[in-house]
Amino acid sequence: MKWLNFAPPFTHKEELLNDSFQILNEKYGLTKPQVNLYTKYLKRTLAVAPVDSQRQSLTSLKKEQCYQLHKHEIAQMTVPEIREHLQISYATAYRMHQQICEEFQLPNTAEHRKKHQAEYQQWLLNNKQEFFRTDITLEEIAQNFNLTKLQLIYARKRLQVLFPELGKKYDVMAWVLEHRDELFGSSRHELAKKYNMNRDQVSYRRYLLKQLQQKET
């Protein structure tokens, strides 16, 4: 067997069989596959008992020690914040977050997400008319809410699931009714400039007003 950047395993058999993967990596630069290769060789050659469960218990113990050391900090963090702060995997950070929520009786990740979604939906409902204003541009609406244009478009789509009429002909018709006296009292150029529209949009609104007037006569 060829030993990769490492002395023959018999010299370090106690470490290979008992130390954690992280310790072996820090001391000798070994990867987990290399450690598994060497321990498999030692177990077959020396007929020693398997130690995988022991190694796993050492890793679990280290995670539990980390949790106990930082749990009061963790209680104030989200899963991504725990992951970044402790430099651990997302899965480990998630388990720690679930553990701290259970221990301190805090809302878990799912409950946080549900609450956030409810608050976001209520915010959308409170501002639904503003999101579909036709007298200013998309960019100006987005700026009013400190959103990007893409975020505004996403918000509109969410609202249209709840209120299919928003942003469609019904909403445009409301604008037409509000400005019916101006539509034929000013030129297309004046209306387009005043309400940040193009001339085709003005023409379409004039067309809708004509249809409405025909129905009224």
- Tell me the C-alpha distance between 192 and 151, whole Å: 26
0.85 exceeded by pTM: no
For the beta carbon of residue 61, count every other beta carbon within 10 angstroms: 11
Q: Say how far apart CA 180 and CA 193 lie, in whole Å.
A: 17
Tokens for 106, please give them: 């805090």
| pLDDT > 80? residue 190 | yes
How do the domains of the chain map onto residue ranges? 9-110, 111-162, 169-216
**For residue 130, is pLDDT > 50?**
yes
| Tokens matching residue 55 | 């190694």
Of the two residues 206 and 29, the one the predictor is more confident about is 206
Is the per-residue pLDDT at 151 higher than 70?
A: yes
Ranges assigned E (strand) in the chain: none
Phi, psi of 38 (to 5 degrees): -70, -45
Residue 25 has pLDDT above 80, yes or no: no
pLDDT greater at residue 69 or residue 50: 69
> Tell me: the pLDDT tens digits for 80-129?
888 888 888 777 888 888 888 888 787 766 666 666 677 777 888 888 88
* Distances from the Cα of 116 to the Cα of 105, 106, 112, 120, 157, angstroms: 19, 15, 6, 6, 18
